[in-house]
Amino acid sequence: MFKTFQHLDKAFRSVRLFALTVLGCYTVILCFVLYHSYRMVSGMQQKIYILYNGKVLEAVAADRRDNVGVEARDHVSRFHELFFSMEPDDKLIREHVSKAMYLADGSALRVYQDLKEAGYFSNVVAGNISQEVKVDSIALDLNVYPYPFRCFAHERIIRPSTITVRTLVTKGVLRSLERSTNNSHGFLIERLEIVENKDVQTVNR
């Protein structure tokens, strides 16, 4: 009779061990499936599909902190292209400057007013002058906020008889803002200052 109980006890222990082993395996498999499902859903949520000209394009969402440097440099570059590139068309100049003013504060307006008072824009229109700006590099310090920057660019001033190449160096700081239609990067240039702007080469056309 005791042997029967011992057999039953051993059988119960074996069944319990087997059940616990199966339960442990199912728990591990469940955790594995949940983890991979979570990763898959997170990955899918970061994919964005854009319909452009009848074509579906895939884009990936990213945290802004991953792209602060890229967006800040593009913001500075875009401002300089709008503000300093000109054609002999008063309406077009005002339109570009108006767009640039969404990207900067009153310090840019003061630079504009100084140039206007000096007759710079009227000379561009009257002299049929085109001015092209190309940003060469932007030094940006992301360890300090607001982010200080220094922009190095050059201008090509195309007159009817000559082409002049001029250096352009500016500095300022960038403050973060909410993104908007007129300010897609969500930055504002403050304390803008022209550090250098001088002719380096003039050639006849």
Question: Parallel, antiparallel, or unpaired for β 55-60 and 199-204?
Answer: unpaired
Give the Cβ contact number of residue 149 at 10 Å: 22
* Residue 2, pLDDT score: 47
Q: What is the domain class of 64-204 according to CATH?
A: alpha beta
- Residue 108 pairs in a beta bridge with none
pLDDT digits (tens, 9 = 90+) for 75-126: 999 999 999 999 999 999 999 999 999 999 999 999 999 989 999 899 999 8
pLDDT digits (tens, 9 = 90+) for 18-52: 777 878 787 888 787 777 777 766 655 556 666 65
Do 194 and 170 meet the contact criterion of CB atoms below 8 Å apart? yes
pLDDT at 9 over 70: no
* Residue 205, pLDDT score: 80
pLDDT digits (tens, 9 = 90+) for 175-199: 999 999 999 899 999 999 999 999 9
- What does the domain layout of the chain look like in residue ranges? 2-48+53-59, 64-204
pLDDT digits (tens, 9 = 90+) for 52-87: 566 656 655 555 566 788 999 999 999 999 999 999
Indicate the pLDDT class of residue 6, thresholds 50, 70 and 90. low
Indicate the pLDDT class of residue 7, thresholds 50, 70 and 90. low
Percent of the chain with pLDDT over 70: 81
